[in-house]
């Protein structure tokens, strides 16, 4: 009889630990996905943000920007879009910052890409989607770089015109017009 109680207690303990770990893993995964958002800034002021957990996808058409998520699709006239940024979702908790982390702010506009916040003379690399290095550029003395995006032909891309931009610890994949 004592052996049976021991097995029941052990099973209950294992079940408790398993459920606790599963809940913790689910909460952690949700928190990471909800930590970032994409923000579309309008030229006439204001902005609209979408959580990356909604899996937003931006495609450019001739005069429009189409943002589609799991639940909706929204069209914006390109002439009204000032810039698009990726940023942390504000949580009213003071963030801990550490110098030299190498993260940068990458802003995409219809004219090109602006990279800010890196260390001065930081290499910025452009790759094809299959990992072929296209260009290596460097930020200026303030840690800033502006890249004018050309056509897919300019980058000698075949198929879908996608490039990957790597600046310090930040990486962004974009589709060229």
Q: Which SS3 state, helix, strand or coil, does residue 106 take?
A: strand
H or E segment and range at residue 24: helix 2-33
- pLDDT score at 135: 83
- How far is 3 from 118, CA to CA, in rounded Å? 63
**135 vs 125, 153, 156, 168, CA distance in Å?**
6, 14, 12, 15
Q: What is the mean pLDDT of residues 136-140?
A: 90
pLDDT band at 8 (very low <50, low <70, confident <90, very high): low
Average pLDDT over residues 100-121: 76
Sequence-distant (≥ 6) Cβ neighbours of residue 42 within 8 angstroms:
48, 76, 80, 81, 82
Q: For the residues 15-24, what does the mean pLDDT come to? A: 54
């Amino acid at each position: 009889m004592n052996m049976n109680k021991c097995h029941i207690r052990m099973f209950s303990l294992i079940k408790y630990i398993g459920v606790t770990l599963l809940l913790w893993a689910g909460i952690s995964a949700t928190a990471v996905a909800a930590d970032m958002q994409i923000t579309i800034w309008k030229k006439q002021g204001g902005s609209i943000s979408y959580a990356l957990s909604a899996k937003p996808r931006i495609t450019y058409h001739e005069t429009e920007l189409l943002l589609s998520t799991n639940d909706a699709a929204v069209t914006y006239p390109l002439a009204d879009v000032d810039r698009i940024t990726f940023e942390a979702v504000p949580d009213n908790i003071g963030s801990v910052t550490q110098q030299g982390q190498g993260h940068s702010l990458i802003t995409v506009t219809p004219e090109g890409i602006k990279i800010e916040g890196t260390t001065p003379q930081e290499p910025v690399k452009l790759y094809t989607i299959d990992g072929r290095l296209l260009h290596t550029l460097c930020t200026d003395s303030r840690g800033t770089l502006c890249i004018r995006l050309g056509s897919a032909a300019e980058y000698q891309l075949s198929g879908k015109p996608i490039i990957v931009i790597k600046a310090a610890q930040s990486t962004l994949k974009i589709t060229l017009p």
